[in-house]
Amino acid sequence: MAEGDGVVSEMSWRAALADAERELAAAGVPSPRVDAELLAAHVLGVPRAQLTLLGAAEESDAAEFRALTARRATRVPLQYLLGTAPMGPVDVAVGPGVFVPRLETELLLEWGLRALTGVPKPLVVDLCTGSGALAAAVATSRPDADVYAVELDSDALAWARRNLGDRAHLVHGDVTDPGLLPELHGRVDLVLANPPYVPEGTPVPPEVADHDPHRAVFAGPDGLAVIRPLVVLAIRLLRPGGALAIEHDDTHGSTAPAVLRGHAELTDVVEHADLAGRPRFVTGARVAP
Ligand SMILES: C[S@@+](CC[C@H](N)C(=O)[O-])C[C@H]1O[C@@H](n2cnc3c(N)ncnc32)[C@H](O)[C@@H]1O
């Protein structure tokens, strides 16, 4: 038994949570109460909703909670501390070296899954897969799909390998190379991409600046340095009628659709907003060659 195990501390969970919330708020964490509750639930291995039922904290749990709270107060991403991040039906493992999947990307996933309605055994490519979150979510939602996931960074690849196992073909490659995956050219039903898209120099929170890999976030002065060549690769991959969805920065509401409309091979280009009404992703379809 570790020191402190089973020893009931003086402190109730209610008080411990209030202390943690204050510490996180003082550190500028945007959602201090939610983060404190998620960390406590993680320590205890219970759903967050059960926290209201708790009384006194065992000293070992309270100590672990204080240590995690202190790390979160230094703006280590919450998901690195929890060890996972959700994407639709899956939780993927995340930690240092990989981009933390964001909730808004679930909109891109939902659109992509709808585009596959009625397509049997679809062939799907996730460009810039990072942790493998989108690929894992598609493979889980559509067990009949053949899923490819492409990533350039070797640290991210290690996380993707862990998350995808044999559920997807993981490819070490550069999505700015139009010749990538020649065996799939003209055959793919759906290309999904959440690439780096933040314009260089944009101020970002410490969680992003100090922990998300730079290459995962920033893409040249206008943020389109990866999206522009990625669209060329996507056009080569897609079959006629195949669908494309690309997440982008909220400053790209007109420029990202313009990139797609600049290619005669694409049609039905539509811009989509996130739940806050900000421009978030663009979709299109491959015309017949
Ligand atoms: C914004 S993250 C998205 C990760 C994942 N799709 C998600 O939604 O959580 C972008 C990812 O693209 C990768 N990446 C950046 N440039 C790339 C390139 N030229 N080719 C392939 N992957 C690239 C980064 O390493 C990073 O993992």
Is any atom of ligand 1 closer than 6 Å to the C-beta of 163?
no
The full DSSP string for 119-150 is -SS-EEEEES-TTTHHHHHHHHH-TT-EEEEE
User: CB within 8 A of 159, min separation 6: which ones?
Assistant: 92, 93, 94, 95, 97, 98, 130, 131, 132
Is any atom of ligand 1 closer than 6 Å to the C-beta of 69?
no
| pLDDT tens, position by position, 120-156 | 999 999 999 999 999 999 999 999 999 999 999 999 9
pTM score above 0.85: yes
Q: Which residues of 41-74 are buried (b: 16+ CB within 10 A; e: fewer)?
A: bbbbeeeeeebeebeebbbbbbbbbbebbeebbe
User: CB within 8 A of 166, min separation 6: which ones?
Assistant: none
Please determine, for residue 105, whether its predicted confidence score (pLDDT) is greater than 50: yes
The full DSSP string for 87-130 is ETTEEEE--TTSPPP-TTHHHHHHHHHHHTTT-SS-EEEEES-T
The DSSP bridge pattern shows strands 266-273 and 169-172 to be unpaired
Interval between CA 148 and ligand 1 midpoint (Å): 14
Is any atom of ligand 1 closer than 6 Å to the C-beta of 73?
no
**Contact (Cβ atoms closer than 8 angstroms) between residue 224 and residue 260:** no
Cα–Cα distance for residue pair 102/87, rounded to 1 Å: 8
Query: Of 62, 111, 47, 50, whose CA–CA distance to 247 is shortest?
Result: 111
Is any atom of ligand 1 closer than 6 Å to the C-beta of 113?
no
Cα–Cα distance for residue pair 275/191, rounded to 1 Å: 22
Is any atom of ligand 1 closer than 6 Å to the C-beta of 153?
yes
Ligand 1: nearest atom to the Cα of 197: 1
Is any atom of ligand 1 closer than 6 Å to the C-beta of 5?
no
Per-residue model confidence (pLDDT) at position 125: 99
Is any atom of ligand 1 closer than 6 Å to the C-beta of 131?
yes
Ligand 1: nearest atom to the Cα of 153: 25
Please determine, for residue 196, whether its predicted confidence score (pLDDT) is greater than 50: yes
Interval between CA 28 and ligand 1 midpoint (Å): 27
Please determine, for residue 84, whether its predicted confidence score (pLDDT) is greater than 70: yes
Please determine, for residue 5, whether its predicted confidence score (pLDDT) is greater than 60: no
Per-residue model confidence (pLDDT) at position 216: 98
Per-residue model confidence (pLDDT) at position 4: 44
Please determine, for residue 167, whether its predicted confidence score (pLDDT) is greater than 50: yes
Is any atom of ligand 1 closer than 6 Å to the C-beta of 137?
no
Is any atom of ligand 1 closer than 6 Å to the C-beta of 112?
no
The sign one gets for the Cα dihedral 68, 70, 71, 73 is positive
**Contact (Cβ atoms closer than 8 angstroms) between residue 111 and residue 137:** no
pLDDT top residue among 53 and 211:
211
Is any atom of ligand 1 closer than 6 Å to the C-beta of 129?
yes
198 strand-pairing partners: 218
Interval between CA 17 and ligand 1 midpoint (Å): 35
Is any atom of ligand 1 closer than 6 Å to the C-beta of 128?
yes
| pLDDT tens, position by position, 232-246 | 999 999 999 999 999
Cα–Cα distance for residue pair 141/126, rounded to 1 Å: 14
Return the residue whose CA atom lies nearest to atom 7 of ligand 1.
101
Cα–Cα distance for residue pair 5/52, rounded to 1 Å: 22
Of 45-49, 81-85, 171-175, 193-197, the least confident:
45-49
User: CB within 8 A of 34, min separation 6: which ones?
Assistant: none
Cα–Cα distance for residue pair 184/284, rounded to 1 Å: 19
- What average pLDDT does the chain have? 95
Element (H, E) at 73: helix 59-73
Cα–Cα distance for residue pair 99/218, rounded to 1 Å: 12
Q: Phi first, then psi: give them for residue 235, nearest 5 degrees.
A: -60, -40
Instruction: Give me the residue label for tokens 């991959």.
Output: 237
Return the residue whose CA atom lies nearest to atom 6 of ligand 1.
129
Choose from 12-16, 55-59, 266-270 the range with maximum mean pLDDT. Answer: 266-270
